A = this chain, B = another copy of it.
Amino acid sequence: MMLTVAHPTALALQAKLFRGFADPSRLAILLALRHGARSVSDIVQVTGLSQPNVSNHLSCLRDCGLVTASSQGRFVYYELSDRRVEQLLRLADELLADVAKGVYECTRYQAEDASDE
């Protein structure tokens, strides 16, 4: 049936959605919003990223529908758009800790349990 790469349907969109999570900076931003809305400057502080960089990624995340923005005075507060964004983060967390343990070792960060497949 080939609902895959040949004709860019939901596949490309879903990949684009995942790309929101797939960059360390953007992921850091999403994690920073895990506990509620934050202003851009807050996010800058927490993540240690530069302000233009954060703004750029935020607009990207907003385009992808992962976050929403609301102006308040001269501040703009961003928050996760949906509970499922948090669920995705959590699920990936679990998967990473459990199944994809090889990633930990592979990248030579802290390795808890060494066991090749």
Q: CB distance A14 to B63 under 8 Å?
A: no
Within the complex, the shortest CB–CB distance from A59 to chain B, in Å, comes to 12
For chain A, which range describes its interface: under 10, 10 to 19, 20 to 34, or 35 or more residues?
Answer: 35 or more
Count this chain's copies in the assembly.
2
Which of B15, B49, B109 touches A27 (beta carbons < 8 Å)? B15
The distance in angstroms between the C-alpha atoms of A15 and B85, with both chains bound, is 14
Q: Would you call A92 an interface residue if the criterion is a C-beta within 8 Å of the partner chain's C-beta atoms? A: yes
Binary interface encoding of chain A residues 87-117 relative to chain B, with 1 for a CB under 8 A from any of its CBs, else 0: 1110111111011111110110110100101
- The contact of A106 among B63, B85, B112, by CB within 8 Å, is B63
Chain A residues in the interface with B (C-beta under 8 A)? 1-6, 8-19, 21-28, 31-32, 46-49, 63-66, 68, 81-82, 84-85, 87-89, 91-96, 98-104, 106-107, 109-110, 112, 115, 117
What are 23 A-B pairs at a CB distance below 8 A?
A4-B49, A5-B28, A10-B96, A10-B109, A10-B115, A11-B28, A13-B104, A14-B92, A15-B22, A15-B23, A15-B24, A16-B22, A17-B95, A17-B103, A65-B95, A65-B96, A65-B99, A65-B103, A82-B99, A84-B98, A84-B99, A88-B91, A88-B95
